Amino acid sequence: MKNAYITVDVDTVSTVLNAHGITSNKFKDPTYTKVLPRFDSFFKKHKVKATFFVVGDNLNTKESKAMVQTLYSHGHEIANHSYSHPTNFSSLSKKQKEKEITKTEITIKDCIGIKPRGFRTPSWDISEETMQILEKKKYLYDSSILPTWVSRAFKYYLQLQSHSTHSIGKTEYALAPRNPYRPDKKALWKKGNMKIIEIPITTEPLLRLPLIGTVVFTLGNPYFSLSYNMARLSSVPLNFQLHAIELFDPEKDINRKYTNQIKHAPTTKPLSEKLKVYEKIISQISKEHDFKTLKELAKESQAL
């Protein structure tokens, strides 16, 4: 059996709605009280060990801390996804980048007792400076490189949907290796001799179609079947990226009037329909894979 690595970017419902220009200060965000318990239950059912990339500023309530502690106690990895989930992370000053990483590192340690070993930038917007900060802070791995040309088209899709100018990293990242590798500190899309391991999000080998839940919900199950079946034939570890919003219930979690204002498939599709997609994805992967965390993959890749 091969190993598969499921990751969840815990971008809150508020974060997603704000990205679409919808103010969210009139409802209680359901991400840690309703959405993540669904992930925990679903993963338990399918014996999935996952890596959850959490935003530090969200761990400011008893409920959110308790949920993260529960995920950790159930064998999941808790990793760093910045403190405030800023757009255009690469354009921050070095001091701001360090603050975003360090504050979440401290917050996670206060919550579960250990420092995170992995990091992922918001919107895959990693930079050489960020990677050097992570290495200096002795992070084991980063998982922010999205090695696909499709990401360029996805960027424009996001801009049309949210009227934003989100950066998703340099165009050259499409040329990055698909396997875990040690990056070049001056050109992250090239192999180098840094100590930190880069674990790219999986793409299939020919067209480099990315294995990302958001894209699957937008293009449908045929897209997943095509990209997954092509990717599994290669020697690349399966690093499949999901987002918390994908198990959000638009009918019950908050007032429907908020989600009626946007056209974002992972947000607006009924929960029952999204669970069916998850069932298909995880069931298909589990036939040929065991599930492990990215930290486990990074440790295995240190001999590179």
Segment 115-141, tens digit of pLDDT: 999 999 998 999 999 999 999 999 999
Q: Give me the chain's average pLDDT, please.
A: 91
Whether the pLDDT of residue 282 is over 70: the answer is: yes
pLDDT band at 62 (very low <50, low <70, confident <90, very high): very high
User: Is residue 36 within 8 Å of residue 10, measured between CB atoms?
Assistant: yes
* SS3 label, residue 45: helix
Residue-level pLDDT at 165: 57
CA distance 132 to 237: 24
Q: Choose the most confident range, by mean pLDDT, from 12-21, 110-119, 214-223.
A: 110-119
Q: Would you say the C-alpha torsion 257, 258, 262, 264 has a positive or negative sign? A: negative
CATH assignment, 2-301: 3.20.20.370
DSSP string, 47-92: T--EEEEE-GGG--SHHHHHHHHHHHHTT-EEEE--SS--SSGGGS
Whether the pLDDT of residue 36 is over 90: the answer is: yes
Whether the pLDDT of residue 167 is over 70: the answer is: no
Residue-level pLDDT at 90: 94
Residue-level pLDDT at 278: 96
* Residue 9 token pair: 């970017």
Per 3-state DSSP, the chain is made up of helix, strand and coil in percentages (nearest 5) of 45, 15, 40
Ranges 71-85, 133-147, 248-262, 279-293: which has the least confidence: 248-262
Q: Which residue has the higher pLDDT, 66 or 260?
A: 66
Whether the pLDDT of residue 71 is over 90: the answer is: yes
Strand-pair partners of 184: 187
Q: What is the pTM of this model?
A: 0.94
pLDDT band at 261 (very low <50, low <70, confident <90, very high): confident
